[in-house]
Amino acid sequence: MIIFYLSTIFYVKLKKTKGNDWNMAVTAEKEAYKLLEVLNISYQKVEHPAITSVRNLSFSLPGPQVKNLLVKAKKGKRAYLIILPDEKQANLKQLAKHLKERRLSFLSKEQLYELLGVAPGTVTPLALMHDQEKRIQRSN
């Protein structure tokens, strides 16, 4: 697992996997570096054991700790990346109302991999570059 310290706003996680997924992980990591450079975003690379939940974080980094959640609309093809402080719980009913969606739910393991190429617990804003169909929406 690699974390890129981007700013005081969020941390980005990329999971390295074994087997056939390894090439995809290496490619995704290289793409992430390239994207950060193109966007002129400075970062600090910190290597550590895999983390699939902010509750399992055994070290500290400066800035706020956040969690990234990917949810989908019950009907339709929209998905939303939610970034919130690690101590907050996502209220999907309130969030659905705010987004003017009837109902929201978490994506399955298969849907996460298909959409962003990541596993549960490793959702990252940088993985949005893999959403070729732009199904994940920005909300104000």
Return the domain boundaries, the chain.
20-50+64-137
Between the CA of residue 121 and those of 15, 99, 102, 133, what are the distances in Å? 9, 23, 25, 22
CB atoms within 10 A of CB 76: 11
Q: Class for domain 20-50+64-137, per CATH?
A: alpha beta
| Closest by CA position to 80, among listed 110, 101, 55, 51 | 101
Confidence of residue 5 (pLDDT cuts 50, 70, 90): very low
pLDDT digits (tens, 9 = 90+) for 63-110: 777 888 888 888 767 888 888 888 888 899 998 888 888 999 998 888
Say how many residues make up the chain.
140
